[in-house]
Amino acid sequence: MKIAVVLAGGVGKRMGDVKLPKQFLEINGIATIILTLKNLLDSQLFDSSYIVIHKDWKQYLEELLTNSCVNIPKENIICGGKERIDSIENALDTLKIKNTKGDDIVLFHDAVRPFITKELLNRGLLTALKYDACVAITPVKDTMIIVEDEVALAMPNRSSLFHGQAPDIFKFSLIYDCIKSLKPEEKATITGTAQICQTKGVKVHTFLGDERNIKITSIMDLFLAKAIYREMYEQ
């Protein structure tokens, strides 16, 4: 089986004075999370889909789903934890309770990356089936500078540097065993989903992402998202 998990536990602290969490902000009249879910479901690549949401916004999400074209069963809406790693673990615990098989494939995607395409999903799933753990990346274009005390120490070769994107995709037993073996001090350092496996010594492979697959974390990102929406859906 192939299972999609959409992480929507954030409360939008980087969006300034915006009152709604960023996953609920609209792009051309559509809530970001609805667009993300629609693109995942329209791909018809997954046997089931789940959403991880902050408990304070669970009812809001359920009402939003009721009034949309997206069909996610209420029992597939999971309350998130304090940190991203806690939300991921809550999702994996739910999948374990539902008797997910060890060799099932679990995809984690950000609710605030709405422009996920079937082509990108296919690349990722094929990579996961071959290697068990993988993450989407895109090449770095700008010069990267290592800075200490406002002094440029080094400028690494861009050929080995990439932006980490999403989705992150794993064999269920692998990601589950890795997260359960993390020590508290290891959990505290993890910011990306693929880091869970990498921290435990697992080789995480990569697949090519998509420059349109942006993460909406600021007002400027929202402006860019509206332009991408027009390019993808209104041509």
Segment 170-190, tens digit of pLDDT: 999 999 999 999 999 999 999
Dist. CA 193–CA 93, nearest whole Å: 15
- Using DSSP bridges, classify how beta strands 30-31 and 26-27 pair: parallel, antiparallel or unpaired: antiparallel
At residue 72 the predicted structure's pLDDT band, cuts being 50, 70 and 90, is very high
Q: What pLDDT is attached to residue 16?
A: 55
Which helix (DSSP H) or strand (DSSP E) does residue 42 occupy?
helix 32-42
**Measured CA distances, 14 to 10, 70, 210, 216 (Å):** 10, 27, 23, 10
Tell me the per-residue pLDDT of 74-132, one tens digit each, with 9 for 90 and over.
Answer: 999 999 988 999 999 999 999 999 999 999 999 999 999 999 999 999 999 999 999 99
Which SS3 state, helix, strand or coil, does residue 145 take? Answer: coil
Share above pLDDT 90 across residues of the chain, in percent, rounded to a whole number: 89
Asked if residue 136 lies in contact with residue 166, where contact means CB atoms within 8 angstroms, the answer is yes
Give the domains, in start order, of the chain with CATH numbers.
Answer: 2-233 (3.90.550.10)
Radius of gyration of the chain (CA): 18
Dist. CA 68–CA 22, nearest whole Å: 18
Tell me the per-residue pLDDT of 27-53, one tens digit each, with 9 for 90 and over.
Answer: 999 999 999 999 999 999 999 999 999
The neighbour count for residue 59, using CB atoms within 10 Å, is 11
